[in-house]
Chains A and B, each alone.
Chain A
Amino acid sequence: MNTTVVGESILRPDAYEKVQGGKGFPVNVTLPRMLHAKLLRSPYPYARILNIDASAAEELTGVKAVLLPKDVPQKKYCPVYFVPTMAASMVQDMVVMSDTVRYAGQPVAAVAATTPEIAERALQLIDVEYEQLEAVFDPESAMREGAPRLHEDAENNIAVNPSFTFGDLEAGFEGADHIFEGTYKTQRAHTCYLEPRVCVVDSDINGRLTVHSSMQHMFGLREKLAFVLDIPESMVKVVKPPYIGGGFGGKLDIGYIEPIAALFSLKTGRPVRIEQTRYEDFITTTRNPIEVYLKTGVKSDGTFTARYALSTLDCGAHATHGAEVINVHGMFGILLNYRCANQTWEGRTVYTNNMIGGGYRGYGSPQGSFAVESQIDEICDELDLDPIEFRLKNAHQEGDPHPFNPEFTLSTYRFADCLKQAAERIGWTDRAAAKSSNGHKKRGIGFGCQPVWVSGCMGFPDIYEHSGAIIKLNSDGTADLSNATVDMGSGQITTLCQIAAEELGLAADKVRMTYADTDTVPFDAPSHASRVTYSAGNAVKAASAVVKKRLLEVAGDLLEASSEDLEVRDGVVYIKGSDKKISIPDVIKRAEGPFVVMTEEGPKPTTIKEKGTIIGVASMAPPSNPSPSSVEFVELEVDTDTGEVEILRVVFAHDIGKVINPMAAEGQVEGGFQQGMGYALMEEIQFDADSGACLTADFLDYKIPTAVEMPPSIESIFIESNEPTGPFGAKSLSEPCVSVPAPAIANAIYNAVGVRVRELPITPEKILAGLGKL
């Protein structure tokens, strides 16, 4: 498809403001007479609150209000934004503030004061009497008979227990020549969005709320906040932030801060701000740790005959995202990635007195891909099979029915191309030679795949998936785009403006993303699930098409041609194959000008049917859920004296449909590798074994890669195809970038030093232990 704006590395319009200070972040919002609130958090992991005496706090000068569990609604809900609050597939076990504490750090009281310092001081004056209960910190112990029960309706502390079966597993194992078993474990990791969770909630005398928040879903926040406070949704207005400082899935649920700020605002009649400290952010949301047991049967030639997996997810004190992560993990981390007629997967989301989980880029697939891609390499090593041929043999093919939803097909599917091109680029055939040593340093090459993924949530039970947009043409030839998609840094603004510009026939810098709130624009699902380009992009394209249709109708009248004979290029409407033209500004002057114009001969009427703002709206669900596909090769060096790993080179290949913005797409791959590498080698939220207190609550203790640890280069290969249902052929990108690094690194380490680590992070200690040195 020939495009002029889509496919170009257009510079981000928001970058200009961000390099000069970045005023648009929600953390900067201040309102007159604003109060500041702070939360008191439990030091105990499992306890009943017997009594709270906040009288001294209330009397402190500057304190305007105090909230205790008895002062807040006790309605149970599921905080996850992208599902209806009472969705059947989720678990509604969350309360704004409870008198039962289920994890260390759970809020038990809140204070609103004129300054944050006064609020902080007031917290220390609150006297809480706890009755400590016996706590449980790991899923295996939590599921045992006699373990403390965390929630009334969860027997054995199992929140949800989904399973999927295809074919006949027993027969599959009987037909296998070899059977492999293994247990793979992943850890708790934090998204580390740099802008903290923060909100400002204001209220008017009618109790109508206006909410500013650093979050990934405007309409989700509206729905959840209204639900928790038991008010109609129309009483809540969420303002669209111009952009937010990172999300990565960690801002996909309503926190404690929005309801508490809202309650304070309603109580005091003033706006209330709550900004989480970095410690609070570290204990707010996490990638759930999952332990995966795999049992796999193969023929001697590598064909899968049977695949069984049992996944155990630690969701902590409340199910939150854990009820959905387990499903995505089972489906896209394990079952659907390759073809096998006989597969059974069972998942358990288990309550413990650990911190609650959130969303995080990949949403269960990194935990699954680590297990599956590691085991495949183990199988190939044992049976002396080529790891690339093995995967190709078992891969889905273009044109196959979509493994998740057979109503769709894998209309474009270039997994094989990804494998071949990336293998060639890294020099895979020289791998044996690559296992060279430089004294105590040994090199290796490995790879990992995310063969099947999603472009949004179409087809998933209980998940919202529709988008909308409003576009308006201005008399200066620019267009204003208004929609509810939040830009968290991945470039949503840029992508959507490019799609609109391409459809309208405008230059990229002529489309501007402008103001929106939940009163003024159609619903949009969150910025998550790699959905914005495909889902929101399709809606933006549709709204642009409405605008273009009207533009050509009016232009056609003025040029005395049928709109079918017209086209738009660079802001000018042409009769196809002719020089006759009219600029968009001239069309608008006519459309928005007075009906009667003054001419030399006096006032003359124009035409009524031309009149009106040229504006278009669309609100729609995307037509499908096409699968991208990705592979990542990593070359690294292991220091066998220290166990340290240095990443030398990365090659990532992705079947993306059409690349909307090449430079932005590369940026997603490079950033994804930083997160995947950190997950593979160094990141882990750790807790005290007895008290459940978080030990890694700042950036000195929780290590993420800096510029120094990163490899000198990360190469991106984008395999382009024309996805028929995508805007200009596009599918999706961002999440597989984070799923593939860990297995690639684990496999490369094995290739380098023959140590197989099945537990993340792969720290120097684990490598040295594997070498028999510890």
Chain B
Amino acid sequence: MKKLITLEINGEQHELALEPSETLLQVLRDELGLVGAKRGCDSGGCGCCTVQVDGQAVYSCMQFAHALQGRTVKTIEGMSQNGELDPLQAAFIEEGAVQCGYCTCGMIMTADEFLATETEPDDQQIRHAIAGNLCRCTGYQKIVTAIKTASARR
């Protein structure tokens, strides 16, 4: 049976009627058309669905939306401000960190949380931060470079 919850997503309040089994990923993609969060495995194994709940990077495929009543969610669609790319997004483009792009939004969401507290990370710290985000195209090298470049700019 559907239950009414309210969620703040990228600064906007949403009132949603949801089944208990609906995940945050389903809500974002299927109810709200926010397709930046992506389904890669639906089982907490790849990170393509990563978004932030109250500033913490989480796998949205593993979050029951029901349980997030009153929380704030940030997705990739909330990263750019007034049409301007966040330094992370710009760095991913400039450093060649985007190939097929399917892991990209999840990577950026994880990196965004990481850089909020780590302002001058080294390569090893960056690699550990994104260990929960799989990429099959880039070998991660240019993703690490992009995150480092962005850390200097933020």
Contacts and interface: CB of A to CB of B under 8 A. Distances in A.
A491 B99 contact: yes
B48 interface: yes
Interface string A639-683: 000000000000000000000000110110111111100000000
B: contact size bracket: 35 or more
B43 A673 contact: no
Interface in A1-26: 9, 11-12, 14-16, 18-23, 25
Contacts of A491: 99
Interface string A232-245: 00000000000111
A596 to B, nearest CB: 43
Nearest to B75: A21
Contact of B134 (A20, A23, A196, A706): A706
A244 B40 CA distance: 13
A706 B127 CA distance: 8
B85 A674 contact: no
B134 A673 contact: no
B154 interface: no
Nearest to B35: A28
Contact of B96 (A9, A193, A245): A9
Contacts of B80: 20
Interface residues of A, number: 56
Interface string B103-140: 11100100000000000000100111011111111111
Nearest to A490: B99
Interface in A195-239: 195-196
B65 interface: no
B41 to A, nearest CB: 4
A503 B37 CA distance: 39
Interface in B74-90: 76-77, 79-80, 85, 89
A19 B137 contact: no
Contacts, number: 180
Contact of A704 (B35, B102, B136, B142): B136
A371 interface: no
B46 interface: yes
SS class of chain B's interface: helix, strand, loop or mixed?
loop
B148 interface: no
Contacts of B131: 706-708
Given A278-B42, A713-B141, A714-B139, A22 B99 contact: no
Nearest to A12: B98
Contacts of A28: 35
B100 A11 contact: no
A243 B101 contact: yes
Interface in A461-478: none
A698 B127 contact: no
Contacts of A25: 35, 38, 101-102
A23 to B, nearest CB: 6
Contact of A245 (B100, B128, B138, B139): B100
B72 to A, nearest CB: 19
Of B44, B137, B138, most buried by chain A (CB within 10 Å of CB) is: B137
A674 B41 contact: no
A86 interface: no
A244 B100 contact: yes
A666 B96 contact: yes
A278 B61 CA distance: 13
Contact of A248 (B41, B126, B136): B136
Given A20-B89, A21-B36, A671-B139, A194 B102 contact: yes
| Chain A interface SS verdict (over half) | loop
A15 B76 contact: no
A708 B128 contact: yes
Contact of B101 (A9, A14, A704, A712): A14
A122 B56 CA distance: 37
Contacts of A488: 100
A562 interface: no
Contacts of A244: 100
A671 B139 CA distance: 4
Contacts of B34: 21
Given A20-B76, A21-B105, A664-B96, A192 B136 contact: yes
B143 interface: yes
Contacts of A191: 136
Given A707-B130, A707-B143, A671 B35 contact: no
A699 B136 contact: no
A700 interface: yes
A606 interface: no
B94 interface: yes
Contacts of B45: 278, 698-700
A490 B98 CA distance: 10
A496 to B, nearest CB: 16
A435 B133 CA distance: 34
Contacts of B128: 707-708
Contact of B142 (A14, A277, A670): A670
B92 A698 contact: no
A12 B93 CA distance: 7
A459 interface: no
Given A245-B101, A672-B139, A707-B127, 11 more contacts: A11-B96, A19-B76, A20-B89, A194-B46, A195-B100, A489-B137, A490-B137, A491-B99, A670-B139, A706-B132, A707-B135
18 contacts: A12-B98, A15-B101, A20-B36, A22-B35, A22-B101, A25-B38, A25-B101, A194-B38, A194-B40, A194-B103, A195-B40, A195-B100, A246-B137, A277-B42, A667-B96, A706-B127, A707-B140, A712-B123
Interface of A: 9, 11-12, 14-16, 18-23, 25, 27-28, 117, 191-196, 243-246, 248, 275, 277-278, 488-491, 663-664, 666-667, 669-675, 698-700, 704, 706-708, 710, 712-714
Q: Which 3 pairs across A and B sit closest by C-beta, in order of nearness? A: A489-B100, A18-B101, A699-B45
